[in-house]
A and B are shown apart, each in its own frame.
Chain A
């Protein structure tokens, strides 16, 4: 079970969090002008790397903040965790 260093609450168990996927995905600023291809890229085509990954975790049972966490998907090493909205 991962130990996630919540910048607000301190170290907490993974079970207090919900996973939110890749943190690098930006919603197109004007969806109306996005091509079908750009929009499906945003919706569906996400990287699933082996190794370092910036991802989102929601501290559901703590401060209820979304965190951006840098985790190695192979070793589970966690490098940083910061509030997605400071």
Chain B
């Protein structure tokens, strides 16, 4: 048999006949040519059933030519590399391509699911909501597995997609969406005026409708004119041409998303999809129009096809979608399509025009006032019944044999981008068109997208839109007169939608019939949005490009109200599906998210530290030890620090340099405690409130000079604190002369903690006086530490004698390793944030687990720190009744009575341990096993907590059935007198 039985002997401007390609569809080998789409390749090979429908599993063929395709859903590749949910019309043929049709099991031509089609009426509109409801126990065993196999769109790939995907951000004066005659004219006019232009078109070649049918521009071939114009644009440095690129989304302030597909000849490494984010001053929407179906029984049979697509396959690819065609429609385009098919070698069985006055073409077998009532055949179309278009039953139907029914139901302008930009739409009753009305952004619709269907009109509108868009973006150079075409046919279509009875499909992809829409109306649905969700009309991957208008008209008719009152569903991005992998480009693998490392990170990694995430930072959680599990290793770090000396990386803390003549006054205003009384060379714990009185952040403030301070923030709130300071300095107290500079990245810091820390510091900083008298608690010193320029601050978080040493981060690793080396003879132990957390619980220090955005200083037992100056941020709020009332939750310590008990995560605190439903007293904020005290400890926020000191409460997790008695104690479990700070 001939390899490509439906390929014409010549013609096809998109294909290269010198380069045959082999491909495989559902296990059968076929041949096509370079330039073919999978759809044209399949049609050339005579494959008519390409997929099965979603609900009834009816056989489906190719309907369209491009992204409007509702039927021909395929998957390419196999198993691991399968790419599902592609439209055969958009898949470029490549040598060795493997593809399969979707929604069929085991194959499209022999599909078990089609039994549903025979039992069609058991699956009416809303069948999801009416069926499979009960018995509930059938869900797992029966409904779910069966539905899972039947439903959905194709298989998910079994392995990660290792293709490369890319993103690019660009700016343009004018983005032109659509590269047909209107779009090319717009781009040319704008570019000649000097505007920065991006021209995007979904096809592999610019030309739009001229790819499907010949036309004349400037007294020559239309496509040749397009090629010349594209050549001129390509030579301009301020123009970017994007073929194979669909403008899929129109977002706020003229940000548009363009999805560019790799060509089949793209060199290896080319992104599979590249998403362009284009910020355009002006947009020219020249997105064309989609041909509508006509509704008649069997209008989904393989072989029933959009007329412009049927003509297009002949013209662009040299492929006959059938040898004997009936061309049927409600407008003049059917005659041109019939002649195009005939010149490509098909015979024309009939040209049926629904208009009573139509059919005056002596060269064609015309039938005026006739419509297709029914398509005959099951697996493919074998003929049609023609009947008077008004559907009068007295007339007998005419039976016409054919293997192709080319249907022309008029055009729906692609108003999607206009509507996504929140432009308004209007319904032109006479022409049956939904048209762009007032634009919702800086955009203009032109050509078929604006309801202008003649070539001359498209060129004129495109040219005008390009000229105006360029002028609005500041480019007014004259671009000359617009190109002209003799095609000034209005192409108007009297509104005609459906005829006859039987299964008339509106939405081919989701198998929604005219009867389903009518049923929804009968059942009381009025809103078009509800009908969409109830019937699933327009919810497929084609998003109703072919079905939306017909569904709207049917619903309006069923409800007896004008289409304009029914309105449309909301147009949302994307216009065509965008691969998830493309959206994830740059967000996968290495560098997917920021990972912040301290200057000593390499050491931690080499030492085998187990890291813990703290925002974007990674911090050593603990350092594993031979022969110890995680808990034992953490406990060892705590014990060795408390008994000797430990070192911890605190490089993640936020650090801010504050300078200016009003620095001290400013710090008094942003901290709840007084800072201005600090002496130079001393530091103080500082408590920052939000304006509503809740604790915001805490840290240490050091005074380096009269008007110079250095302060730390918590790791988590560092950016928030800086933003807060700038807010106050720029909007509340602009008269203050203060400069707050983020120095977090400049400084690395490590803390030495433990009774042995003084000796070690003395060793590494020989010039520093380290005695308790010379270097007291809360003092800061500039000194050389391990021969590095450092700031040393004596403070404590662990509860032991402790020094924090900060050096410029470039020296951070040197400081760390030199301290470790010098510390060897002191038994220096590196510890991570797990051990740090245990020690802070033992000392009752608060973190964001306690300062959780709801607690006040008093709730946390820090009320004494607040000085009574209501001007300071948050202090006035502490006087509000709600913050003073009894019954607030307060921070307490909980000492578990049974020393063997360990506390699980997520515990409440309850009065009783019976785990019966009751309002909890509060919740556990932090818990640990304390190796120092030999029992489990918790910090908790509980109602009237401090008044309960000495009482027994219960730490409980009803979810896992845990309960343990604990005594309410002071949150400072360890060394409440602070003697350890002065050893």
Chain A residues engaging chain B, CB cutoff 8 angstroms:
1-3, 11, 18, 20, 27, 30-32, 34, 36, 39-40, 43-44, 56, 58, 60, 64-66, 75-76, 78, 83-85
Contacts and interface: CB of A to CB of B under 8 A. Distances in A.
A76 B252 contact: yes
Contact of A43 (B252, B279, B691, B881): B691
Interface stretch (B294-302, B636-644, B659-667, B726-734): B726-734
B871 A1 contact: no
A58 B253 contact: no
Contacts of B252: 1-3, 76
B870 interface: yes
Contacts of A3: 252-255, 279
Given A1-B252, A1-B253, A30-B871, A20 B877 contact: no
Contact of A85 (B254, B255, B731): B731
Nearest to A83: B730
Contacts of B727: 20, 56, 58, 66
Given A27-B732, A39-B877, A65-B730, A32 B255 contact: no
B257 to A, nearest CB: 10
* Top 9 closest pairs, chain A to chain B, by CB: A32-B870, A31-B876, A3-B253, A85-B730, A85-B734, A31-B870, A66-B730, A84-B731, A76-B252
Interface of A is mostly: mixed
B870 A75 contact: no
A84 B729 CA distance: 10
Interface in B717-775: 719, 723, 726-727, 729-732, 734
Contacts of B726: 58, 64-66
A2 B875 contact: no
Contacts of B254: 3
A61 to B, nearest CB: 11
Contacts of A56: 727, 731
Interface in B865-899: 870-871, 875-877, 879-881
A60 B724 CA distance: 11
B657 interface: no
Nearest to B875: A31
B571 to A, nearest CB: 17
Interface of B: 251-255, 279, 422, 440, 691-692, 719, 723, 726-727, 729-732, 734, 870-871, 875-877, 879-881
A60 B723 CA distance: 8
B656 to A, nearest CB: 13
B730 A43 contact: no
A18 B723 CA distance: 9
B251 A66 contact: no
A12 to B, nearest CB: 11
A39 B253 contact: no
A38 to B, nearest CB: 10
Contacts of B877: 39, 43
Contact of B730 (A30, A34, A75, A84): A84
Nearest to B728: A27
Contact of A39 (B729, B732, B876): B876
Contacts of A60: 719, 723
A49 B879 CA distance: 30
A2 B253 contact: yes
B355 to A, nearest CB: 43
30 contacts: A1-B251, A1-B253, A2-B252, A2-B253, A3-B252, A18-B723, A20-B727, A27-B732, A31-B870, A31-B871, A31-B875, A32-B870, A32-B876, A34-B876, A36-B881, A39-B876, A39-B880, A40-B880, A43-B692, A60-B723, A64-B726, A65-B726, A65-B730, A66-B726, A75-B440, A76-B252, A83-B730, A84-B731, A85-B731, A85-B734
A76 B440 CA distance: 11
Main secondary structure of the interface of B (DSSP, over half): helix
Nearest to B735: A85
Contacts of A83: 730
Given A34-B876, A39-B877, A75-B422, 6 more contacts: A30-B870, A31-B870, A36-B879, A40-B880, A43-B691, A58-B726
A27 B727 CA distance: 12
A18 B719 CA distance: 11
B660 to A, nearest CB: 14
A27 B252 CA distance: 33
Contacts of A76: 252-253
A83 B726 CA distance: 12
A31 B669 CA distance: 12
Nearest to A4: B253
B421 to A, nearest CB: 11
Contacts of B691: 43
A11 B877 CA distance: 38
A36 B279 CA distance: 48
Given A1-B253, A43-B691, A58 B422 contact: no
Contact of B871 (A32, A36, A85): A32
A27 B254 CA distance: 37
A17 to B, nearest CB: 11
Nearest to A32: B870
Nearest to B869: A32
A39 B734 CA distance: 21
Contacts of B875: 31
A84 B728 CA distance: 11
A64 B723 CA distance: 8
Contacts of B881: 36
A18 B732 CA distance: 17
A30 to B, nearest CB: 7
Nearest to B732: A27
Nearest to A75: B422
A30 B875 CA distance: 12
A22 B692 CA distance: 16
